[in-house]
Structure 1
Amino acid sequence: MFHFFAEPSFRVRLVGGRHRCEGWVQVEQKGGWGAVCDDGWDMKDVAVVCRELGCGEAKGTTSGILYKPSTEEEQKIFIQDVNCNGMEHKLSQCDLQDALDCSYSKAARASCEKSVRLAGGPGRCKGRVEVKYQGQWGTVCKTGWSLSDAKVVCRELDCGRAILTHSCCKKTLQGQGPIWLSNVSCSGKEEELQDCPSGLWGNNNCNHDEDMCVECEDPFDLRLVGGDNSCSGRLEVLHKGKWGTVCDDGWGEMEAQVVCKQLGCGESLFPSVKARRSFGPGVGRIWLDDVRCSGEERSLEQCRHRFWGYHNCNHKEDVAVICSEKQP
């Protein structure tokens, strides 16, 4: 197969998933983004995408409700017949062709999994440090652990600055199963936790009372504004350092319950339409649209939604939420 793509290199991203490491595969060409056809798409291709994005191991293709393009511009397919051997560092290094006859219904998807995560917390950027070894997740012991180690974890997870690290004292935060690492000693400049010196995997005298927790300056945050307290108002989410609103397309009771739970504000009391009339429209960016939650999520970020900033709404459709518990 010949490499027909017009440009020697291009950027890649995944859109529409729960986080930046899953979703539809898109490539940038001539200032615009387009999808990749799934003709011949397999795990070798997924592995290259995951490697290029620094997203860890290839898991497969995503499933469930994901971002769906709403305009013709968003539905373009740029490349097809991708054929990677799985060892390339970038998708542009694989054999591929310019797209000729592929529809967006056949857009390729990918799902990746990092070898480190923060579990049990309110969102992906706070919680118990867990690492994956031999296909199983396990915890990290506090022996030798410091804020320098936490900095590496937060950086690897795209969670911003490390603001706190401590033993997971609460029983609800303590892990189960293997304790994989202890005596971790990062300088703080490493890109990934696996680059740091540590003791032998699984060789330690620790127990789960000594599991480590980390809190990062989560780039995702939310708030309710315009109400009498912080548990009622127009919903705004923080993305790329800017606050913006959420469109009510598809919004319902499950989504409102996740917001109230994340804010520690009890349960949702009123439908968003009634609430919106009380607080009025927002201004500026509309960050999220077509949000879909199961109700089990700890953070609104874990719910399905369109790619950030993609919507067909105006501020008359901004979501508002009223929760049961009042905070000063």
Structure 2
Amino acid sequence: MNDFLLGDVRLSSGRLEILYNNEWGTVCSDNFDNIDAQVACKQLGYRKGIVLGKMEATVPLRIWLDKLECIGWEHKLIDCSHIDWGNHTCSNDSAVGIRCYEGQGDVRIKSRRLEIHYNGTWGTVCDDDFDDRDATVACKQLGYNSGVSLGETVGYGIGRTWLDNLKCSGNERTLGDCPSSGWGVEDCNHTEDVGIKCLNSSDG
């Protein structure tokens, strides 16, 4: 059994693939632009994305989506306007390819654990002094309205712990703008990795 859900996306050698009806398929490059790529990349936990153009599938796959039109605020590719699943005017050599990338201080949520990108690598955030104001700044950075801290109730991360003793006011644009001990200055281990939950105003 896998953990994939309807509308999940993945990259295969740069080619964008999406899950529908328990089958992975491709997305047509027709009208697909950098806004669409950015939505797909945000869904994968990245901050930014660009279109690479057409990429032929080495193994023929169903073409699930065509004529995508994202606005940019969507959290998932399936939230964007598109014609019916499986309807298309494309061939297998018209599958779209994208590249996802992060910026310094970008954040993502991985299995409810908050992670932040710094110096070329992803790392974790310590739960010392971390509260809902810190979570809200991180969630706003991801496009949500607010956030709550889950404390150290999530699975352990790996690599560096990048931030400790965060003290956000709640008005900062990014988590990296908040006062802290400094990048990589910490006295934590991965049992103290903080988790967050992001919310929109309509969420319960």
Give me the TM-score of the superposition, normalised by structure 1. 0.32
Larger radius of gyration: 1
Give me the TM-score of the superposition, normalised by structure 2. 0.49
